[in-house]
Amino acid sequence: MSADRRASWFKGVLDLLVLAGLTEGESYGYEIAKRLGAAGFGQIRGGTLYPVLNRLEEAGLVAAEFRAAEKGPGRRYYTLTPAGRRVLAEQGELWLAFDTSVREVLGRAGVR
């Protein structure tokens, strides 16, 4: 599989993955990227992640709060809003149904 194809699939589901990651509580961008990387998605660059976080904030799906740090730069912490939880539930269900359909078709084709 080409890296370009995998990147395309990832971008299609990144919003959903960020929302899902915030169900565990508030987080900041670098921490979100680290968790996604640890889940097997590889290194997530800020140029990919922060536009998603901004878009989710503008849509009212996450709330952000800037906090100054005692040492180093401050951070924006993101939390899932009630609207974000609803969208995650709805879109998550649709994604899982899509995944099931893809698996069925690939399984019939002998792909395991």
Q: Where are the chain's structural domains?
A: 3-108
Closest CA to 61 of 14, 15, 93, 12: 15
57 contacts 78 by C-beta, under 8 angstroms? yes
pLDDT computed for residue 79 by the predictor:
98
pTM exceeds 0.75 for this model: yes
Q: pLDDT, tens digit, for every residue of 6-58?
A: 788 888 899 999 999 999 999 999 999 999 999 998 889 989 999 999 999 99
> Does the domain at residues 3-108 carry the CATH identifier 1.10.3720.10?
no
pLDDT above 90 covers what percent of the chain?
78
Please enumerate in sequence order all residues whose Cβ is within 8 A of that of 56, keeping only pairs 6 or more positions apart, or say none.
15, 18, 19, 62, 78, 84
H-only helix segments in 22-109: 29-36, 46-58, 82-108
